[in-house]
């Protein structure tokens, strides 16, 4: 590999929206994530419906039986 062209790969603090923090490796000093293994439905076993700007309600209204 060529010398001096690769970014520095160091420890970084990752912060989840749920408040969980953990240390990982990255080229950035800190990372903010929306979901982690503490709050992801696959790992928790709980279904969590994330409604982004009323999309679920819009879908239900559109396909509701009249």
Q: Which residues contact 29 (CB under 8 A, 6 or more apart)?
A: 10, 12, 13
Q: Assign domain 10-62 to its CATH architecture.
A: Irregular (4.10)
The owner of tokens 């060529």 is: 2
Give, for 56, the enclosing helix (H) or strand (E): helix 55-62
List the structure tokens of 24: 């990982």
**pLDDT for the residue 2:** 83
Nearest 5°: CA angle at 9, between 43 and 14? 35
pLDDT per 10-residue tile (average), the chain, 66 residues: 86 90 92 84 66 74 79
How many Å apart are CA 58 and CA 35, to the nearest integer? 24
Q: What is the pTM of this model?
A: 0.53
């Amino acid at each position: 590999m060529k010398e001096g062209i690769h970014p520095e790969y160091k420890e970084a603090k990752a912060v989840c929206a749920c408040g969980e923090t953990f240390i990982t490796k990255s080229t950035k000093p800190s990372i903010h994530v929306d979901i982690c293994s503490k709050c992801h439905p696959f790992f928790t076993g709980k279904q969590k419906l994330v409604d982004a700007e009323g999309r679920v309600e819009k879908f239900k209204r559109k396909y509701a039986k009249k």
